[in-house]
Structure 1
C-alpha cells in the first residue's frame, strides 16, 4: 500500500509540473503576442502618419494599444494632445489602415498608456540599469492587461541583417501609475545574424538565460521572433537555462520543459538513432 501511494504521489507531481509549465508557456506566449501586436501597430502606424502629416516638429511621441481587439497607434504632440489615431486590421496592411487626423484629448485609457510610457521613458534616461548600445534604440511598449500595468523596453537594431535579443527590461506600475519595480530580463544583449558569411542563411537560433527570475523564454523574445519572422524565415528558436528549456516555432507554438527532462529526451533520441543505424548495418 505504501509503494502504491508513493507511485501515485509521483504521478500527481509529474502531472502538476507539466500543467504548471503548460500554463506558464501559455501566459508568456499571450504576453509576447500582445507585445508583437502593439509593436506592429507602432511600426506601420508611424509610417502611415508621417506620410500624411507634414508638421513633424509638432510630434511628441507615440504608443500603441489594443482597443477591443483592434490595434491602434496614437501619435501625440509636444503639448500632450492626440494628433492622430491609426487603426489596423489583423493583417496590418498600411493600405487598409484607418487614419483619423483629429486633434483631441486622450481618453482615460489612453491617458494611462501615455502616463506609464512617459514615466518609463524618463527612467531609461536616468537609471543606470538601462544600457544604450551603438546602432540600436530602446523601444518602449506599454501594456495594460487585466488591470495590470507594465512597460516593456526592447532593444531594436538600426542596421539590417541582425536580430537583437536581450538588453530588455520590465517596469511594473501601481494603480496610480507609479513605478513599482524595474528589472532586466536578460543579462546581456545577444545579436544574431540573419545571413551568416560562413554558413549562409540561418534557419534557427538559441541563446541562454541566466537571470534566476527569467529562466524561461521571455515575452520580449516571443515578440522579437514574431516581428522578424518575415525576414528570418526561422523554423524555430530555443532558449536554455539552468532550470528550463523553451522551444518556439513560427506557428506560435511554445513548449517549456525542465532542462533535465530535455537532456534525457535528447539522449534517448540519440540512443534510438544509434541503435537504428547499427541495426540497418547488420541487415543483409
Structure 2
C-alpha cells in the first residue's frame, strides 16, 4: 500500500495532459459530482421530511434536482402531488434547510424528473437484469444534464463500516421519455470495509472493471466515494481495467490513464527508487 501511495504522489504532480489523455475524464467526473449532489440532497432531505411529515402511508416517493442552483428534494404522494419540498444551501447543512409541506402540483421541471423516475421504476420491477442483494436496497437517481435524461440505479446499505461499489445500472431514454436502454456499470457488487480487523483503518481502495463499455471509473464510483469520504477519509481510490487505470482523490481530482502507460510509469518510478543511492541513517 505504501508503494501505491508513493506512485500516486508522483503521478499527481504530472501535467494534466499527461494524466488525462482521454477526453471523457472531465465528463465522467462532472457526472459523478452531479450524482453526488443529488444523492446528498436525498440523504439529508429524507431525514428531514420523515421527521416532519407524519402521514407515512401517503408517501409515494421522492427525487432530488437542482432548481436554478438550489438543491431540492421533492416528496410526492401516491396521487402524484408534491407533499414536501426540502431546499438546501450549498453546504447541505440540515440546520439551514427550508421545509415546505404545502401540497401542490409538479412544476414543469419536476414533471420531467418524475416521469423518467417512474418509467425507470417500472422497468426495474420487470427486468431481471436488476439484482437486490441481502441487506441492500436500490436507489433510483434521475439526472437531467445538457438536455439528456438518464436514471442511475445505485446499491445502498445501512450496514456500518461498509462501502458498496457496483451492482449499479444506467437507464437511458428516448425523446418520448420511454426507456431506450438498460446496462450494468459493474459486473457485480464490491463490498469494501472502512476498517479491517487485521490492518485497522483503510487508507485507500481498489477494484477492477471488466465490462467492455465501462473500462474507466464510473460516475457512480465517484458519487459513492464523495458520499462516504467523511466516513472513510481515504487518500485515494483506483479502478483498473485492461484499457484504463483511473485514480481519484478527495480533492475531486481524477486521472484516467491507459493501463499500458500506467504500468510503464510505475516501473520507471520503482526502478529510479531502487537505483537512487541511499544515505546512512542513525537509529537511536
Distance 1:153-1:21 versus aligned 2 partners, 3 A rule: farther
In the alignment, structure 1 segments of 5+ residues that lack a partner are: 1-16
TM-score by length of structure 1 reads 0.91
Do structure 1's residue 55 and structure 2's residue 64 form an aligned pair?
Answer: no
Q: Give the Å deviation of 1:70.
A: 1.1
Q: Give the Å deviation of 1:19.
A: 9.3
* Structure with the greater alpha carbon radius of gyration: 1
Whose helix fraction is larger, Structure 1's or Structure 2's?
A: 1
What secondary structure does 2:106 align onto? coil
Match for residue 110 of structure 1? Answer: 110
Match for residue 221 of structure 2? Answer: 221
Q: CA RMSD in A?
A: 1.7
Most deviating of 102-111 and 17-26: 17-26
1:38-53 correspondence to structure 2 within 5 Å: 38-53=38-53
1:1-284 correspondence to structure 2 within 5 Å: 21-276=21-276, 279-280=277-278
Distance 1:199-1:19 versus aligned 2 partners, 3 A rule: closer
Distance 1:20-1:234 versus aligned 2 partners, 3 A rule: closer
Contact 1:149 1:175 in 2 (8 A): no
Contact 1:151 1:171 in 2 (8 A): yes
Distance 1:20-1:246 versus aligned 2 partners, 3 A rule: closer
What secondary structure does 1:152 align onto? strand
In the alignment, structure 2 segments of 5+ residues that lack a partner are: 1-16
Q: Give the Å deviation of 1:150.
A: 0.1
What secondary structure does 1:83 align onto? strand
Distance 1:226-1:282 versus aligned 2 partners, 3 A rule: closer
TM-score by length of structure 2 reads 0.91
What secondary structure does 2:38 align onto? helix
Q: Give the Å deviation of 1:280.
A: 2.3
Deviations 1:90-114 (A, max 9, x none): 1111110011111011111111101
What secondary structure does 2:23 align onto? helix
Q: How many residues align?
A: 266
Q: What stretches of structure 1 move > 2 A for 4+ residues in a row? A: 17-23, 279-283
Distance 1:27-1:280 versus aligned 2 partners, 3 A rule: same
